[in-house]
Amino acid sequence: MQRSLELLDKPAAAPPPIWRRLFHMGACSTIPLMGIFLDDVIMVVLLAVLSGLALLVETVRLRTPGLNRVLVRYLRPLLKESEDRRITGATYIAISALAVFLIFDKPIAITALFFLALGDPAAALLGSRMRGPRVMGKSPWGTLAFVVVAVAVAGVLSAAGVVSFHWGLAAGAAIAALVELAPLNRIPALDDNVTIPLISAAAMTLIGI
């Protein structure tokens, strides 16, 4: 019994490097920031080109072991351990950004992508460092951090006039956090970088923002 309680009081895995999460925040935030200032059509074209190039690079490197080893060696600080043999998170981000800008209204797309860019790293940084019980392998503190950051982001975007103030923004933030908590990323095609923006954007659209 005591052994079980000790296990519950320990982080589930080694905390992710802070600099990697900060890079995720900065790089991923670039897309919705561009979306605020650029025309919808221009954004879609840019993201389509970016997604196409990313998929081309992924295809070539995964089919060319020598090239893959070289790229992984130089990009290792920015990659997860499993990304040496599968599509990287950066490519998933480009594809999901293209999808949300194609499917949803621009303010919704921008908000959902900021949820991913800032809420997801916040959950990982805090949750992996907090002791206590886990829900589906993740800390509830990480989920709470996601919600707080995402709600704050929605508030800033609303104050700046990027998206209209609506209670559904808080609901979208909570849904994005729950998607991050759910073990959907065990299925390769359901990477967090895809599910978080798509599902939260769909929820906010259905709510009527």
Q: Which positions ≥6 away from 95 have C-beta within 8 Å? A: 51, 54, 55, 194
One-letter amino acid at 132 equals G
Q: Which positions ≥6 away from 92 have C-beta within 8 Å? A: 191, 193, 194
Going by pLDDT thresholds of 50, 70 and 90, the confidence category of residue 107 is very high
CA neighbours closer than 13 Å in the CB half-sphere of residue 35:
27
The closest of 198, 9, 13 to 98, measured between CA atoms, is 198
pTM of the shown model: 0.86
Q: For residues 147 and 34, give the distance between their C-alpha atoms in angstroms, rounded to a whole number.
A: 24
- pLDDT greater at residue 185 or residue 71: 71
Neighbour-count burial of 16, counting CB atoms closer than 10 A to its CB (0-12 exposed, 13-18 middle, 19+ buried): middle
Going by pLDDT thresholds of 50, 70 and 90, the confidence category of residue 8 is very low
